[in-house]
Amino acid sequence: GNSVTQMEGPVTLSEEAFLTINCTYTATGYPSLFWYVQYPGEGLQLLLKATKADDKGSNKGFEATYRKETTSFHLEKGSVQVSDSAVYFCALSDLSNTDKLIFGTGTRLQVFP
Amino acid sequence: GAVVSQHPSRVICKSGTSVKIECRSLDFQATTMFWYRQFPKQSLMLMATSNEGSKATYEQGVEKDKFLINHASLTLSTLTVTSAHPEDSSFYICSARRDSLGNTIYFGEGSWLTVV
């Protein structure tokens, strides 16, 4: 079945460091791919998405490219800030039910000044 | 912006008791809401889809008699964990699909349940 695998955290970085959080997926067909972020005490928020191969989603300095050949959707940011500290979830939508999101385990990012 | 609120954010209950978690869409109507669960070091897993005015649709392996879902209004869905056991201790999070403006899905803050 469909699944998402993302790197375990926590990821600990200094401010202005480069961030990569790996995400790979297993799916039949070509699902849409998402990154959600959960800040402390808040709900998950959609950070970015890509709906087809080679699409790049971007928002708030974060980017992720839908790579069909490597079945990956790695999240990157060139210079993280303390305010980026949160839990990041990679997800895909089930093609048979686009409301059904299949998530990874989440990766906690901690950014220190 | 659109907000989904869950309550309580943390709850501790004794084994054998029932506990109710509420999911409210604060400024929009949601015919459809979703309930997820996450065990430690595992993925967020969809438990059930809650439909206003009708029975919830449960994912395979989720006991509908143990996890009672009620979606009696367009802004409120409740999840009741009946006869809770320590293995039900988990992070539960809901989401709501807005009935307008592109049917965007918004998530609540999540609820931590500990059964002792």
**Segment B95-106 mean pLDDT:** 84
Q: Which of B44, B104, B109 sits opposite A43 (nearest CB)?
A: B109
The pLDDT score that the predictor gives to residue A29 is 83
More confident residue, A30 or A89: A89
Mean pLDDT over each residue of chain A, to the nearest integer: 93
Distance from CA of A47 to the nearest CA of B (A): 12
Lowest mean per-residue pLDDT among A8-17, A77-86, B102-111: B102-111
pLDDT (0 to 100) of residue B1: 60
Instruction: Give the angle subtended at the CA of A17 by the CAs of A12 and A18, to the nearest 5°.
Output: 95
* Rounded Cα gap, residues A73 and A22, in angstroms: 7
Long-range Cβ contact pairs of A62-68 (< 8 A, separation 24 or more): A62/A35, A64/A23, A64/A33, A64/A35, A66/A33, A68/A30
Residue A99, chain B, CB below 8 Å: the answer is: yes
pLDDT tens by residue, B27-50: 999 999 999 999 888 888 999 999
Q: Average the pLDDT over B6-15 and give the result.
A: 96
How many residues are there in chain A?
Answer: 113
Tokens 């990679």 sit at which residue?
A90
Q: Stretch A47-70: mean pLDDT, rounded?
A: 96
Q: Tell me how close the Cα of B43 comes to any Cα of chain A, in angstroms.
A: 4
Instruction: State whether residue A69 sits within 8 Å of chain B by CB.
Output: no
Please report which confidence band the pLDDT of residue B2 belongs to, taking 50, 70 and 90 as the band edges.
Answer: low
